């Protein structure tokens, strides 16, 4: 197979082949492309399937073939690429397919750091229930304390305000932002329209204090790729979560807020919103 470098315009091609019922964040072209500086993504379209290759620290890894048709034939084609081929972001359904069709051929490892957190949309709009009482308190404080407005993001706001502010906020917090993260965030705003993203911001006295960006992953699921807020404003985070869903995604049932990347602070934050399940992802290695 002949692989070529992935470019932003490949979103249309990717969407043609993706599983439209998958709640995994890797079913989003945007999610993959944002981290291209780390993943070094390449693709190959052949025989009715799309093949995606990552090259991380000099080693190739592959997604399960995307498309409809003879999956066994497509997987055999993929296996022919490398003798000890490595698979990344393998879903539980894909793992089952491989084990049934190619028994004892692969060793799988559950990657808990890459599993997505999935929530009920209604719960994150209302923060109802005892477990989310703390979030509700923060939202109540925010509503009583600040004269705020919410607005849907336009291309101009994304590029001229959100991009500049987000990079500043993250830099101020970390003091030394990973250049890969910088690259990922800039891609969101530079390709805002091309990626067909939806964004929302909260303003206080005209200044943006919180923002969220995402896209429809399936008919009933929204994927939130970016959610950032001013750390010094109590309630800003749960408030943008609530308002973004209320204003843009109230017709969905589930919210995928992506993985925690093995970061303890991020894990704690995601668990505090009480996910109803996590998508299981495996690393697969040819034995």
Residue 45 has pLDDT above 80, yes or no: yes
Query: In angstroms, how far apart are the furthest CA atoms of the chain?
Result: 62
Q: State how far the Cα of 11 lies from the Cα of 13, in Å rounded to an integer.
A: 5
> How much is the pLDDT for 176?
58
Contact criterion met (CB below 8 Å) for 228 and 239: no
Q: How does pLDDT run across 258-285, given as a tens digit for each residue?
A: 999 999 999 999 999 999 999 999 999 9
pLDDT band at 175 (very low <50, low <70, confident <90, very high): low
Judged by DSSP in three states, 76 sits in helix
Q: State CA 39 to chain mean position distance.
A: 14
CB within 8 Å of 207: residues ≥ 6 apart: none
CB contact burial 75-98 (16+ within 10 A = b; e otherwise): bebbbeeeeebbbbbbbeebbebb
How many beta carbons lie within 10 A of that of residue 224, not counting itself? 22
More confident site: 167 or 286: 286
Q: State CA 123 to chain mean position distance.
A: 20
CB within 8 Å of 3: residues ≥ 6 apart: 42, 43, 44, 51, 53
Distances (CA, A) of 108 to 58, 75, 87, 145: 21, 16, 9, 50
Torsion-angle region of 169 (φ positive above 0: left; ψ -120 to 50: alpha; else: beta)? alpha
Nearest to 243 by CA among 163, 155, 151, 153: 151
Terminal C-alpha separation, the chain: 22
> How much is the pLDDT for 174?
63
Q: State how far the Cα of 143 lies from the Cα of 218, in Å rounded to an integer.
A: 32
Determine whether domain 4-115 maps to CATH 3.40.630.30: yes
Q: State how far the Cα of 99 lies from the Cα of 78, in Å rounded to an integer.
A: 16
Q: How does pLDDT run across 99-129, given as a tens digit for each residue?
A: 999 999 999 999 999 999 999 999 999 999 9
The domain spans of the chain are 4-115, 117-257
278 DSSP β-pair partners? 117
- Give yes or no on whether 4-115 and 117-257 have one common fold: yes
> How much is the pLDDT for 100?
97
Residue 79 has pLDDT above 80, yes or no: yes
Report, at the CATH architecture level, how domain 117-257 is classified.
Answer: 3-Layer(aba) Sandwich (3.40)
The whole-model pTM stands at 0.93
Nearest to 209 by CA among 233, 188, 192: 233
Q: How does pLDDT run across 139-174, given as a tens digit for each residue?
A: 999 999 999 999 999 999 998 999 888 878 776 766
Helix, strand, coil shares of the chain as percentages rounded to 5?
Answer: 40, 30, 30
């Amino acid at each position: 197979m002949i692989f070529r470098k992935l470019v932003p315009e490949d979103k249309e091609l990717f969407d043609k082949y993706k599983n439209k019922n998958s709640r995994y964040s890797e079913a989003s072209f945007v999610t993959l492309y944002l981290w291209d500086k780390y993943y070094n993504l390449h693709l190959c379209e052949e025989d009715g399937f799309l093949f995606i290759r990552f090259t991380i620290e000099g080693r190739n890894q592959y997604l399960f073939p995307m498309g409809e048709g003879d999956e066994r034939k497509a997987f055999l084609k993929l296996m022919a690429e490398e003798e000890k081929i490595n698979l990344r972001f393998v879903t539980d359904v894909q793992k089952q397919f491989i084990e049934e069709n190619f028994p004892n051929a692969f060793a799988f490892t559950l990657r808990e750091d890459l599993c997505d957190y999935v929530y009920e949309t209604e719960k994150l709009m209302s923060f109802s229930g005892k477990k989310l009482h703390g979030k509700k308190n923060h939202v109540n404080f925010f509503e009583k304390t600040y004269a705020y407005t919410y607005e849907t993001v336009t291309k101009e706001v994304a590029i001229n305000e959100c991009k500049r502010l987000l990079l500043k906020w993250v830099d101020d917090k970390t003091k030394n932002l990973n250049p890969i993260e910088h690259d990922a965030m800039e891609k969101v705003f530079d390709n805002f329209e091309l990626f067909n993203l939806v964004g929302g911001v909260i303003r206080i006295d005209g200044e943006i204090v919180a923002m969220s960006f995402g896209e429809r992953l399936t008919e009933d699921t929204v994927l939130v790729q970016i959610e950032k807020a001013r750390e010094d404003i109590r309630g800003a985070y749960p408030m943008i979560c609530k308002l973004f869903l209320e204003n843009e995604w109230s017709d969905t049932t589930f919210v995928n807020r992506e993985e925690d990347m093995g970061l303890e602070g991020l894990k704690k934050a995601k668990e505090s919103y009480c996910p109803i399940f996590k998508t299981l992802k495996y690393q697969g290695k040819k034995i």
